[in-house]
Structure 1
Amino acid sequence: MRKTVRTVLAAAALTAGLVATTAPATAATAQGTPYLPGVLRPSVSQSAQDAALAKYYDYWKKNFLTTKCGAGTYAVKAPDADHAFVAEGQGYGMTIAAMMAGKDSQARTVFDGILKFVKAHPSVIDKDLHAAEQDENCKSVNGSDSATDGDLEIAYGLLLADKVWGSGGSVNYKAEALRIIKAIKRSEVNPDTKFMRLADWADSGKYINSSRSSDWMPGHLRAFEKATGDSFWGQVRTRQEKAVTQLQQQYAPKTGLIPDFVVNTNSTPKPAPDGFLEDHDPHYGYNACRDPWRLGVDGITVSGSPAQGQVRKMNTWIQQNTGGNPAKITSGYTLSGSKLPGETGQHPCFTASFAIAAMNDPGSQAWLDKLWTSITTWSPNAKDYYGTGITVQVLIILSGNYVAV
């Protein structure tokens, strides 16, 4: 089974082959997908927003991209994960590169290099999916099977690439995306429950009716349905949207938080028990911290999205819980809103993601501006690929540079 634990600062960074930022991002005018009327943006100028994005993007490139895994390849290093390279990191890298296509002349080269790395490491269970972990020697390890969050992001990144660059060049991005989407349907979705599986290995035992809430990305599923013409993806999205509402009502009526892992997906979904797979499975931890971002971006781009109301619940609670002070956001909560034992201090996944929830609430301008200040004055950490990669993607959205497929 896969067990990636967030242990920031616990691993030494890989330094070989680090990418020199020879073509820094330019702070150009935002040219992303228009947001819905009433969606909040930070009050600072557009140039200040673009400059903040460029700063963090350049840091990400310099500290987390490496060419050590072969000629023509790029890979995203994960010094804070169990292994040197993880699937979600490659997916994040592909999405970030495609989103930054208009600001970085190297973006397509980076994207194609990560895709080359991904294709060189197929899952042993389904060869059209990516093996989830590689060691410092760029060899697949820990079962060499998949992780759903990585494959979802890789497929979405390819659809983005098709949108921004087209598929008439050396790589047919659309065809690659369709190949992977077909494999996700085949091996990473439970066909009976319409929930995402944890991975291609999670098709039996206690895992068969389980799911990771941060894999419930409505925007990705909308893109898959649009690209394939397959209504199956709309069914998956609708099932998971209903599950978010049900979990909020039944287990988190005060906070709106949802757990890292969910079980019982074949009947009435409920939080996974302690010890199910990782460290804080029934709680709002280092997986679910992505939920306000993943749900929230759907809320600001799709009229009538259930995600808007879902993240407003989270946004209202976190403001009240912190007294409007982002410095009081901590790294993990129970679904009732208590701080998790053993978790102290802040992490960008939690603080940054809540900013996307705030964009959905017209009454939260002052709160959003505080979150913006907190995010953009945070000193990035060269051993925290997870927090840095999420921060870059959140800044892409906050600055209006987000591209919806």
Structure 2
Amino acid sequence: MKIHRKSMVRKCLLMFCAVMLMVPAGMSFANNKPFPQHTTYTAGSIKPNHVTQTALDNAVKNKWNSWKNAYLSPALSGQYYVKYNSAGETVSEAHGYGMILSVIMAGYDTNARTYFDGLYRYYRAHPSTNNSFLMAWKQNSSFQNVDGPNSATDGDMDIAYSLLLADRQWGSNGAINYLQAAKNIINAIMSNDVNQAQWTLRLGDWATSGNYNTATRPSDFMLNHLKAFQAATNDNKWNSVTNKTYTIINSIYNGYSSSTGLLPDFVVLSGSNYQPAGPNFLESANDGRYYYNSARTPWRIATDYLLTGDNRAFNQLTSLNNFIKSTTSNNPANIKAGYQLNGTALVNYNSGAFYAPFGVSAMISSNNQTWLNSVWNYTVNASTEGYYEESIKLFSLIVMSGNWWTY
């Protein structure tokens, strides 16, 4: 049977149009910022230089694959969530991690946008009772809110930042207007997670009375997030929060940890001065020490310097790097999972939540090149730990490999 060429072309066009009609609204075949990005960081900063860029990228890909397989799971129809413990529960901190990672890994992972949109729908299905644009901080394995349906600032901030990245990655003309969603939660954070009398980040939207109202948590000091929030909304209140956050970093550093650069898990206001929280202020006897919350500060604070060159915490980070290299004899295996602010170790074991972020802080100066290379090797070759440790390792590897980017 003879088939005319024009007829074949017409049929192919019709089939293409039919396929395009079946593509869900908002789905794109392109990523504007596909992994790997190889971002140019601040002049004078460094990356691991003992392996190739391809090896750096592949280490991130491998860690993402293992992280995704272990913790990223379907929830209710069209939703995804991040399992943060063996009971199948989740928290907004983990959810924010999942949303940022999905955007960053788009281009390598072809399902990244599907994951992100499902995570977004889960976030919107679990609003805080104090502000519907913030996320209730914890759900059980049946996806029900537990332990109080209010928010935690770190989860809110990472979710907001991920939506800004999503706007840059995929645009906001699809089924989800990522930029508007970002502005909604950013404005909610300013309204409920920020103490506007002090310009400090609250612990969550619940922390509005007593000492909790003026307390803050250094692991929430996501300075580049704050600058992105200001850029997206043109709300100069965010500059006030950024400035106050840097002021608190240096107040604690100069007053309590000038020889180590270590920051405590929680900071409280006493009179007009900020100081480490006392034991059992909120979580444990180590609330005023460098413990499992503040283990993230070398990653969070140094990342802003790497991206913007803002050097207001440079001295604190330099002291931190000098301390950790000295106390470990330049061996990452000797990093301990917690310290008093004077540098005395709290425990005799190690944890990825502690050693990996020191690789990010090391990037601020070429004086740390050998140390950075050692931390990279140790992180890449370390045994698998739990959700928290593996998440922090992955974030740290992304930054160390030069693949972190900003709004």
Q: Which residue in 2 is equivalent to 1:397? A: 399
Code of the residue aligned with 1:165 in structure 2: it is: W
Q: Is the 8 A contact 1:83 1:136 kept in 2?
A: yes
Q: Which residue in 2 is equivalent to 1:318? A: 324
Q: Which residue in 1 is equivalent to 2:61? A: 54
Cα 1:367–1:293 shift into 2, 3 Å: same
Structure 2 unaligned blocks of 5 or more: 1-33
Shift of 1:254: 0.8
| RMSD over equivalenced CA pairs, Å | 1.4
**Residues 346-394 of structure 1: CA deviation (Å, up to 9, x unaligned):** 111110100011001221110000001100001223xx11111111111
Q: Which residue in 2 is equivalent to 1:307? A: 313
Shift of 1:310: 2.3
In 2, the alpha carbon distance for the partners of 1:336 and 1:39 equals 27
Code of the residue aligned with 1:159 in structure 2: it is: L
SS of residue in 2 equivalent to 1:306: coil
Q: Which residue in 2 is equivalent to 1:386? A: 388
Q: Which residue in 1 is equivalent to 2:360? A: 356
Aligned: 1:106 with 2:114: no
SS of residue in 1 equivalent to 2:267: strand
Aligned: 1:185 with 2:187: no
Specify which of 165, 168, 171 is matched with residue 166 of structure 1. 171
Shift of 1:289: 0.4
Q: Is the 8 A contact 1:300 1:308 kept in 2?
A: no
Q: Is the 8 A contact 2:35 2:107 kept in 1?
A: no
Q: Which residue in 2 is equivalent to 1:65? A: 72
Cα 1:141–1:98 shift into 2, 3 Å: same
Q: Is the 8 A contact 2:193 2:204 kept in 1?
A: yes
TM-score (norm 2): 0.89
Specify which of 358, 370, 375 is matched with residue 371 of structure 1. 375
Q: Which residue in 2 is equivalent to 1:119? A: 124
Cα 1:344–1:72 shift into 2, 3 Å: farther
Code of the residue aligned with 1:191 in structure 2: it is: Q
In 2, the alpha carbon distance for the partners of 1:380 and 1:110 equals 23
Shift of 1:171: 0.7
**Residues 88-134 of structure 1: CA deviation (Å, up to 9, x unaligned):** 00000001111111211111111111111111000112111100000
Q: Is the 8 A contact 1:211 1:263 kept in 2?
A: yes
In 2, the alpha carbon distance for the partners of 1:338 and 1:368 equals 23
Aligned residues: 372
**Which range is displaced more, 28-37 or 237-246?**
28-37
**Residues 275-325 of structure 1: CA deviation (Å, up to 9, x unaligned):** 100121100000000000000111111123313332121111100010100
The higher radius of gyration belongs to 2
Aligned: 1:128 with 2:133: yes
Q: Is the 8 A contact 2:211 2:269 kept in 1?
A: no
Q: Which residue in 2 is equivalent to 1:334? A: 340
Code of the residue aligned with 1:309 in structure 2: it is: N
In 2, the alpha carbon distance for the partners of 1:89 and 1:231 equals 29
Aligned: 1:344 with 2:348: yes
Shift of 1:266: 6.5
State how 1:250-265 maps to structure 2 within 5 Å: 250-264=255-269
In 1, the alpha carbon distance for the partners of 2:38 and 2:100 equals 14
In 1, the alpha carbon distance for the partners of 2:112 and 2:400 equals 20
Code of the residue aligned with 2:77 in structure 1: it is: A
Q: Which residue in 1 is equivalent to 2:31? A: none
Q: Is the 8 A contact 1:195 1:239 kept in 2?
A: yes
In 1, the alpha carbon distance for the partners of 2:84 and 2:310 equals 36
Q: Which residue in 2 is equivalent to 1:278? A: 283
Code of the residue aligned with 1:166 in structure 2: it is: G
Name the % identity.
Answer: 39
In 2, the alpha carbon distance for the partners of 1:137 and 1:242 equals 42
Shift of 1:38: 1.6
SS of residue in 2 equivalent to 1:105: coil
Runs of 4+ in 1 over 4 A off after TM superposition: none
Specify which of 220, 229, 232 is matched with residue 224 of structure 1. 229
SS of residue in 2 equivalent to 1:201: coil
In 2, the alpha carbon distance for the partners of 1:96 and 1:267 equals 38
State how 1:204-223 maps to structure 2 within 5 Å: 204-223=209-228
In 1, the alpha carbon distance for the partners of 2:310 and 2:379 equals 28
Q: Is the 8 A contact 1:298 1:308 kept in 2?
A: no
Code of the residue aligned with 1:352 in structure 2: it is: A
Cα 1:345–1:151 shift into 2, 3 Å: same
**Higher RCO (Cα < 8 Å, 6 or more apart):** 1
Code of the residue aligned with 2:293 in structure 1: it is: N
State how 1:288-303 maps to structure 2 within 5 Å: 288-303=294-309
Q: Is the 8 A contact 2:35 2:104 kept in 1?
A: no
Q: Is the 8 A contact 1:295 1:308 kept in 2?
A: no
**Residues 118-162 of structure 1: CA deviation (Å, up to 9, x unaligned):** 110001121111000001111000011110110000000000111
Q: Which residue in 1 is equivalent to 2:19? A: none
